[in-house]
Every structure is written in structure tokens, then in C-alpha cells.
Amino acid sequence: MMQKITMLDVAKAANVSKSTVSQYINKRYEYMGEETRKKIKEAIDTLGYQPNYLARSLKQKRTSMIGIIVANIMHRFSTEVIRAIEDYCHSQDIHAIICNADDDPDKEKKYINMLKAKQVDGLILFPTGANTSLYEQMIKEEYPVVIMDRKIHDVKGKIPSVVANNQEATKQAILHLLELGHKHIAIITEPLTITPRIERVEGYKEALTSANMPVNESMIINCKKADMQKALEKLFAADNPPTALLAGNDLVFIEVQKFIKQHGFNIPNDLSLIVYDNIPYADVATPAVTTISQPAFDMGTKAADLLIKQILKEKIAYEEYQYECELIIRETTLSH
């Protein structure tokens, strides 16, 4: 059996001390000349040395791993946030383990417990909101956590959170449709079980109220994706069907597209359309889709930064970090 190469072997080959090799591996180059670094690197490459990360984590009391528990990895916004987190962590030599909870509280609980058992240094959580006792337990343990995208009012001020200003963004989108002359405007979302969806509906209502327009509850659809075709059929069969529609996220937009195709609607002549989310190729579609863009990369980078600062025992504000969204007007909205 081939003998395992040790740090001492590298030190001998490079003609330096074992502690100098350790400093090199841990990227502590402050008191190390360029020639010394070059010799150690050559020795590592020649010998094929692999650092013992388990021993290193035991010594540092850190694993240099974090967990990301995402509610639904199918959302474009979620994948962009994850990419930003992973990029930031990679720059800090930290590895990310990604788990998809499927908006299932039991699955979320299982992943939180599993990742903590694996001794990851902290968690970034797109929470279901249903495991309050578990969130409270992590606060009590002073375990590093950042909440992403969704608000958990029971832990506000105790866990930092990174969220979008959903209500204001939706309000501005509906005001844009009102300015175009639309009076019958609908919104469709998945069930109002999480704060982003609730806030988007509130923004819709706020826009209508601020323009002295009545809020017609029949124009507000909140249902599971499986029920959306039936709900849209009912909506457009009404005496005054909508002339404009806001789709609550990218997956809802797919259901709306199915309905539009089936009924041969011309967008935007028959129906103006806005989508809340960073849908890919929105700008090159025909017609190009008007969207509400969330700053996913900035939000993901901020979440990673907040988590790593907690891990390193640096001071942070345990508050809500709110990001503004941008209405990008393209070709799917038209004057009525």
C-alpha cells in the first residue's frame, strides 16, 4: 500500500518547517516570501499531498462548510441567489451544501438537523416558516443563520434576513398598468402561505386603492399550480375579464403561458402581462416580457457575507436587509 504523504514530508521536500507548510495551506502568507511559497507549492504538486481537512476542522473548530436550504430550487430567483452565495463562499474557501426542501416543513426540519449533525458552520435558509421552535433553538445556541427571501416574524431582530421589497415592487407594476389605461387588472399567485406572495397581493391592492380604484376580489387568484387553468378559465369567462395580468412568479407564468397558448391570446393586444421574477430570456422572447427583476445576486452575496461574519464572530446588525426591485418595461404591456 502506498504510504500517505504527510505535511512533514512536504516540509522536508521544500526544506522549510512544518509550521510554515501549515501557514501556506491556511493561506497565511503575511511573513512568507515568494520563493518559500513557490518551493512549498512545487513540493505539494510533486508529492501529490492532500491536506487532512478533518484534522484541520477539529483544530480550527470549523468545517469551512455551510448549508443552504432552499424552499424550491426550480425558481430562477432561487438558483441565482444560490449561485451568488456559492461564488462568495468559494472566494472565501468555504464549501456550500445545497438542499431542496420542496416547501415541506418536515423535509426542512430533517435537513436542518442533518446539516447541523454534519457540523456545517452555519445555514442560509429559505424558510417554510413552520419550524419556529427549531429556529428559536438555533438562536438560543447562537448558531449562525441567515434567513433569505421570506420573513419569519417570530424571529425578527434575532436572525438577520435578506428580502426584497415585494409590496412596493408590485404596487409600481400595477400603477404602470393603470397609467396605460387598464381598469380590469388581475393578479395570480400560488397560495398565500409565505410572505412574498402575501406582500405582492398587498402591493396590488395598495396600488388600486391609491388610484381610487375598487379592489375586486374576483380578480385575485391564489391557488395551487394544478388548479390554475380552471381558475383562469373562470376569470376570463366573467362579464368583465381582465385586460392586464400580473403573474406572481416564474412558475406561475408558465401556467399563464399554457392558458394564453390554448386560447390563442395575442400578447399584448388581447392582454397586457407582467411577470414577477427574473425569468431567463425575457428580453429576447417575442414579445419581450415586462418583468419585475429582483437583485438576486446582490441579495445572495449579502446573505453569504452576513453568515460568514457570524461564523467569524464579527459584529453584524441582526435586522432585515431589504432590497428594491426594478420594473423592466418591455413589449408585453400596452395602452388600453
Task: Dig out the grid coordinates for 207 from the structure.
Answer: 396600488
| β-strand pairing of 326-328 with 290-293 | antiparallel
pLDDT of amino acid 2: 52
Closest CA to 119 of 169, 171, 60, 165: 60
Q: Considering the domain 7-51 in this protein, what is its CATH number?
A: 1.10.260.40
Other CB atoms closer than 10 Å to residue 217's CB: what's the count?
8
Share of the chain residues as helix, strand and coil, in percent rounded to the nearest 5 = 45, 15, 40
3-state secondary structure of 27: coil
pTM of the model: 0.84
Measure the CA–CA gap between 313 and 209, rounded to whole angstroms.
Answer: 46
The reply to whether CATH 3.30.1370.110 applies to domain 166-294 is: no
Do the domains 166-294 and 64-163+296-324 match in fold? yes
Query: What sign has the CA pseudo-torsion 113, 118, 122, 124?
Result: negative
- The owner of cell 455551510 is 66
Query: Going residue by residue through the chain (336 aa), what tens digit of pLDDT does each one get?
Result: 456 888 888 889 999 998 898 888 877 888 888 999 999 999 888 888 887 655 555 455 678 899 999 999 999 999 999 999 999 999 998 999 999 999 999 999 999 999 999 999 999 999 999 999 999 999 999 999 999 999 999 998 999 999 999 999 999 999 999 999 999 999 999 999 999 999 999 999 999 999 999 999 999 999 999 999 999 999 999 999 999 999 999 999 999 999 999 999 999 999 999 999 988 899 999 999 999 999 999 999 999 999 999 999 999 999 999 999 999 999 999 999
Handedness of CA 87, 248, 284, 322 (dihedral sign): negative
> In this predicted structure, what is the pLDDT of residue 1?
47
Upstream peptide bond of 144 is cis (omega within 30 degrees of 0): no
* CA within 13 Å, CB half, 186: 25
Q: Which CATH number fits domain 64-163+296-324: 3.30.930.10, 3.30.420.40, 2.40.50.140, 3.40.50.2300?
A: 3.40.50.2300
Q: How far apart are CA 67 and CA 257, in angstroms?
A: 35
CA 156 to the chain's CA centroid: 18
The answer to whether the beta carbons of residues 173 and 187 sit under 8 Å apart is no
What pLDDT is stored for residue 240 in this prediction? 94
> For the chain, what are the domain ranges?
7-51, 64-163+296-324, 166-294
